[in-house]
Structure 1
Amino acid sequence: MNPVLPLLALRAFVETGRHRSVKRAAEAMGVTPGAVSQQIRLLEERVGIPLFTRTRYGVDLTAAGAEAHPALLAAFDQISRSMERLEAARARPTLTISTVPSFAASWLVPRLGRFTAKHPDVEVRVEASSALVDLRRDRVDIAIRHGLGHYPGLRIERLMAPVFLPVASPALLAAGPKIHAPADCLNWPLLQDSDRADWRLWFSALGVPVDPRADRGPSFDDDLLLIRSAIAGQGLALVRDTYAMEEIEAGRLALALNITWPTDFAYYAVALPDVSQFEPIDAFLEWLKAEASTEPAALGEMRTIRSV
């Protein structure tokens, strides 16, 4: 067996298998599609079996290729992460934080100056997106999301449980069927957040069985648009109390159901379990917990609000 590993050919195999496209693999490697195809041919000649089959949409792995691809993919991803650490060793430490736009704008960004004051040598980069991230693949150090805290295999830090209120226009609530329990909300048109997660998680936290109706309805990237849609009588919205309280007190919105907030539906900071190897990540997680501890408790501190 030839002891010299064909690393370029293996990389071409990994990227083509990852993207199911020679063209996209070439873009990822910064070479031409012809160069990728040549490297794959060289690898197939060396191992003596075909690794891809062509389809009308691109390429698919053969059975042999599919068996070998996951381990090689993990190996090259590990090499990539190791190179990033080597490059970061001489550069200013940079943290990439991923969170949803509403949390970034209303809570995280206004407080970042306090972290920078404590750690002036650490550069923080915030990605405001509701898209799911893979911490083992994407260049994200910490993800902050609201959910039920089920993130297997990762380090999880619970931050806070802000109250979300099911609200709608008073006229819409008065005209429709009564809402006595969380499951009754499924009979109404639901207005969704950008990733259609809030209602589904709210129902789950309150013990309502999985129901496809929880995902229906128009979605909005901005909380203000969500509130305006609810005021216009387009459906029920699940909105953080700090955003909705003024509209409720003014009578433009009404509380659909006054219920104790489920404390496991909270904001969580999630990172890889070995973050202690990179001190800035650990420092940022500890800072997040300290900042979140100054927030009012979600339960027992709500003012009297109008319900129908």
Structure 2
Amino acid sequence: MASTLPLLALRTFVEVGQRGTMKATAEALNITSGAVSQQIRLLEDRLGFALFVRERQGLRLTEAGAKVHPTLLQAFQQIESAIQDLQQEQAKKVITISTVATFAASWLVPRLGHFNQLYPEIEVRVEATSSIVDLRRDRVDIAIRHGLGHYPDLEAIPLIAPVLVPVASPDLLDHEKIITPADCLNYPLLHDIDRADWSLWLSAHGVDRDPRVLRGSCFEDDFLLIRAAEAGQGLALVPIEYAQTEILAGRLVQVLDKPWPARFAYYIVTQPDVSEREELRLFVTWLLKQADSQFK
């Protein structure tokens, strides 16, 4: 017996074993009854024994045929299932989004359920990282980044400009009240990584430059700033949306009602051909509508 059996003959054997007649098998496989008979004869010749008993009503499996038929039937069912899974995977529309953890947790992820309801056929994968990504090399479709919008050879669409407010632990404020922006300088100031926002915020509120603005630790992530403020380490200047949960729970307080837009904004960063993929175009449009509705 040859080491490799003909696949079509095996498939024909499985179908005849299920259906019991040449005619029914021919219709299922879209071939002629003569071709069915030829494939069965080929397989039996290769095996060296009969697989069917020819009867007036059709074909009946021999003892040997009945022994191997369930295994081969299961094998072909598994092949069909694997092919269907592959086709479904290829047909699925997947979008990979890269953004910083703070933005993902506080703004993007809570809204994604709405997008999933609108477009259930599109799968959104969110990667939370503050590292610089190469949209082509890293297989990222859309990056949402906080910056000035300078991204060479890429499309940068303004999304939202967070409003910064000073927050602190209630325990930190027990010994001295904050009445004016200048009073913030009496406390350690917790900074973002470039230590720029406090200077700009104080300047916007008419406070002259002061060396005390440089005091305090700096953190790469706004959530780390919030945790440090909760721990009473100083005042943090953060987007109000990021601290809402802590403020409502009483773990933080907004020390002054003097918001000021950050000099940086969040941008949707894509490759120039984003409109060529419908799922990306739909997601970008949805993002912009979400941002627009937030400020209405």
SS in 1 for 2:294: coil
Matches within 5 A, 1:135-150: 135-150=135-150
Residue of structure 2 equivalent to 1:100: 100
Distance verdict in 2 for CA 1:171–1:125, change over 3 Å? closer
Matches within 5 A, 1:1-308: 91-169=91-169, 172=172, 189-192=188-191, 196=193, 199-200=195-196, 203=199, 217-219=217-219, 223=223, 226-245=225-244, 253-256=252-255, 258-262=257-261, 265-296=264-295
Q: Distance in 2 between matches of 1:226 and 1:247?
A: 12
Q: 1:120, CA displacement in angstroms?
A: 3.2
The runs of 5 or more residues in structure 1 that have no matched partner are 1-88, 298-308
Q: Distance in 2 between matches of 1:248 and 1:283?
A: 34
Q: 1:125, CA displacement in angstroms?
A: 1.1
Residue of structure 1 equivalent to 2:73: none
Q: 1:293, CA displacement in angstroms?
A: 1.4
Residue of structure 2 equivalent to 1:27: none
Q: Distance in 2 between matches of 1:254 and 1:289?
A: 30
SS in 2 for 1:135: coil
SS in 1 for 2:233: coil
Q: 1:146, CA displacement in angstroms?
A: 2.6
Q: Which has the larger radius of gyration?
A: 2
SS in 2 for 1:294: helix
SS in 2 for 1:111: helix
**Structure 2 counterpart of 1:99, which letter?**
T
Contact 2:97 2:125 in 1 (8 A): yes
Question: TM-score w.r.t. structure 2 length?
Answer: 0.53
Q: 1:144, CA displacement in angstroms?
A: 1.1
Q: 1:252, CA displacement in angstroms?
A: 5.4
Q: 1:270, CA displacement in angstroms?
A: 1.2
Contact 1:148 1:201 in 2 (8 A): no
Cα RMSD over matched residues? 4.0
Q: Distance in 2 between matches of 1:160 and 1:118?
A: 22
SS in 2 for 1:133: coil
Aligned length: 202
Distance verdict in 2 for CA 1:154–1:264, change over 3 Å? farther
Q: Distance in 2 between matches of 1:247 and 1:118?
A: 31
Q: 1:136, CA displacement in angstroms?
A: 4.1
**Structure 2 counterpart of 1:123, which letter?**
E
SS in 1 for 2:140: coil
Q: 1:294, CA displacement in angstroms?
A: 1.4
Contact 2:98 2:140 in 1 (8 A): yes
The runs of 5 or more residues in structure 2 that have no matched partner are 1-88
Distance verdict in 2 for CA 1:186–1:272, change over 3 Å? farther
Distance verdict in 2 for CA 1:247–1:180, change over 3 Å? same
Question: TM-score w.r.t. structure 1 length?
Answer: 0.51
